[in-house]
Amino acid sequence: MRVALLGDSATQFLGKAIRGYGYEEKLDLEIFEADFDQLERQILNSDSELYESKPEFIVIYASVEKLWQRFCGTVPDRRAGFSEQILAEIRNWWQTIAQFSKSKVIHLNFIEFNDSSLMQQVFPAWRDTPTLMIHGSTQRRN
């Protein structure tokens, strides 16, 4: 069984866990693991190693830490539409995969990251500003 593992951060431990599970279940897994932070490049490029490997399953791991970095780097007046932007990107990934492959996609959920205590410590005056909270955005995406 061919499995592709894509992530926007290090996936080596996840890859080892998948291999270990395959061994325990007596599955002959052939795992393609994309290079560090190559998730989008692998998905959006029809000539990428992802599609050359012809996986039966594609595991997508997008980390909440990278999501947080993007959120923090977003201009405050554009944060209200942040989750919709992320969802549009994810939809585009799935549509692109469907266009170039017959693989089944396993897209891991974002870990819920409640930043309210952090925000209250760093910016106490903003604690009731929902557009600055990534927690609600993460819940909507999951």
**SS (HEC) of the chain:** CEEEEEECCCCHHHHHHHHHHHHHCCCCCEEEECCCCCHHHHHHCCCCHHHHCCCCEEEEECCHHHHHHHHHCCCHHHHHHHHHHHHHHHHHHHHHHHHHCCCEEEECCCCCCCCHHHHHHHCHHHCCCHHHCHHHHHHHHC
> pLDDT tens per residue, the chain (142 residues)?
999 999 998 999 999 999 999 999 999 999 999 998 899 999 999 999 999 999 999 999 998 888 888 888 999 888 888 888 999 999 999 999 999 999 999 999 877 655 555 555 545 554 454 444 444 544 445 4
Domain extents in the chain: 2-111
CATH architecture of 2-111: 3-Layer(aba) Sandwich (3.40)
pTM: 0.77
